[in-house]
Amino acid sequence: MRLALLLFKYFPYGGMQRDFARIAAELQRRGHHCRVYCLSWQGEHLAGVDLRLVPAGGITNVRRSQHYLRRVQADLAADPVDGVIGFNRMPGLDVYFAADPCFLDKARRGRPWWYRLTPRFRHFARWERAVFEPAAATEILLIAATEQRKFEHCYHTPAARLHLLPPGIAGDRRAPPDAPAVRAQARESLGLVDSEYTLLAVGSGFVTKGLDRAIGALARLQAQQPQRRLCLLVAGQDREQPFRLLARRLGVARQVRFLGGRDDIPALLLAADLLVHPARSEAAGMVLLEALVAGLPVVATAACGYAGHIASAGAGIVLPEPFREADFDAALVRAQDPGFGARCRRNALAYAAREDLYSMHDTAARLIEQAVARKAGGSHG
């Protein structure tokens, strides 16, 4: 098959971007040709992929997305493919990989009423409706049951077009046999002493991931435990300055360390004592499961699609919605108990051994093949 994969921006540290790259690689392994349309690309190009950069037009996200779609549609008309797979919501897709939360649900629940009168809302709501409305033909690959329920409630999408994928944790995230040695080496390289209780926040998009909440909780915890050495490691690619200023204002600038986008997340997961992910909105939250398979206890909000795995495994604490600082603070105090951490680790590793947390990308590639074959009215391989 000749397949077009559409996404606005690629950078190597985004969760959706990593899923896109692994799905593209699996499609290629199955013998399909992948053409990628992208507004911007950071990092190495994917081997064997026909990358077509679309010149950015317009000064707003709405204008840029409209310009992007017009350019892509014109190119596809001149050079057709068998199927069009989108990683951002837009009209004209054969398959949509639903990495983002339901836009309409977020607008209704998390925005003031007047937001729904803005051109931005009307544009992105219309594009989401083009994917999910009952009359559409787009097949939808979902990564979390919580988001599936939101889309069904907002659009009444037929169940036959909704496909819930298993998670897709990379094998290198699992705790290796020599995990204690890897932890000791990673902590030494980071300059962490044995007694330093280390929180880890992972993810690009610091506001959405709740980094300000994590910094605030660290400051309150440090005030309660002035004799204890506490540290928050931040791994992710985003604007750091507002959060550096917040840490300075709260008196914990030295305890918050910004590491930037990282390729050594498995080592960081072993080096830390607790993953904190107080996200405001998160369709899935792959890092929660990455921590789980590494045996790292987790404190996360129920807003994360994968938070249910943490609760089912007994691998940490899921904070109820709506978010309350007191709940987060109490969870951080409880998580410091050595017995609690040991139980979470045992539970997490047992869960990782018995549950399918790994086959998302294989399953997604198979479903893409089937959807494109149905569109063609025949069978491909």
pLDDT at residue 380 is higher than 60? no
Which helix (H) or strand (E) segment is 61 a member of?
helix 61-78
Give dist(CA 223, CA 324) in Å, integer. 18
Q: Is the sign of the CA dihedral 225, 290, 131, 63 positive or negative?
A: positive
Containing 301, the helix (H) or strand (E) segment is strand 298-301
pLDDT digits (tens, 9 = 90+) for 117-153: 999 999 999 999 999 999 999 999 999 999 999 999 9
Distance in Å from the first CA to the final CA of the chain? 10
21-41 pLDDT per residue, tens: 999 999 999 999 999 999 999
Measured CA distances, 253 to 98, 231, 247, 257, 336 (Å): 37, 10, 5, 8, 21
Q: Is the peptide bond before 101 cis (omega within 30 degrees of 0)?
A: no
pLDDT at position 381, please? Answer: 40
**Comparing C-alpha atoms, which of 270, 273, 275 is closest to residue 236?**
275
Calpha distance 289→174 (Å, rounded): 10
pLDDT digits (tens, 9 = 90+) for 175-187: 999 999 999 999 9
DSSP 119-188: HHHHHHHHHHHHHHSTT---EEEES-HHHHHHHHHHH---GGGEEEPPP---GGGSPPTTHHHHHHHHHH
Q: Closest Cα to residue 352, out of 299, 295, 280? A: 295
Contact assessment for residue 291 and residue 313, using Cβ atoms and an 8 Å cutoff:
no
Strand duo 95-98 + 83-86: pairing: parallel
Question: Would you say 9 and 39 are in contact if contact means Cβ atoms under 8 Å apart?
Answer: yes
Condensed to tens digits (0 to 9), the pLDDT of residues 352-376 reads 999 999 999 999 999 999 999 999 9
Distance CA(255)–CA(247), nearest Å, equals 8
Q: What's the mean pLDDT in 212-238?
A: 97
Q: Give me the amino acid identity at 129.
A: R
Q: Would you say the C-alpha torsion 194, 199, 205, 206 has a positive or negative sign?
A: negative
Give the tens place of pLDDT for each residue, 84-97: 999 999 999 999 99
Q: Which two tokens stand for residue 297?
A: 């206890």
Please report the domains of the chain, with CATH numbers, ordered by start residue: 2-166+359-376 (3.40.50.2000), 171-354 (3.40.50.2000)
| CA gap 144, 150 in Å, rounded | 10
- Crossing angle (nearest 10°) for helices 241-249 and 211-224: 20
Q: Is residue 288 over pLDDT 80?
A: yes
The pLDDT of 207-233, averaged and rounded, is: 97
The pLDDT of residue 13: 87
Residue 282 carries which DSSP code? B
Q: How far apart are CA 308 and CA 283, in angstroms?
A: 12
Which residues sit opposite 202 in a β-bridge?
235
Distance between CA 308 and CA 310 in Å, rounded? Answer: 5
Helix extents (H) in 240-324: 241-249, 265-271, 286-294, 307-313
pLDDT of residue 301 exceeding 80: yes
Is residue 378's pLDDT more than 60? Answer: no
Q: pLDDT averaged over the chain?
A: 95
Mean pLDDT lowest among 55-64, 111-120, 121-130, 154-163: 55-64
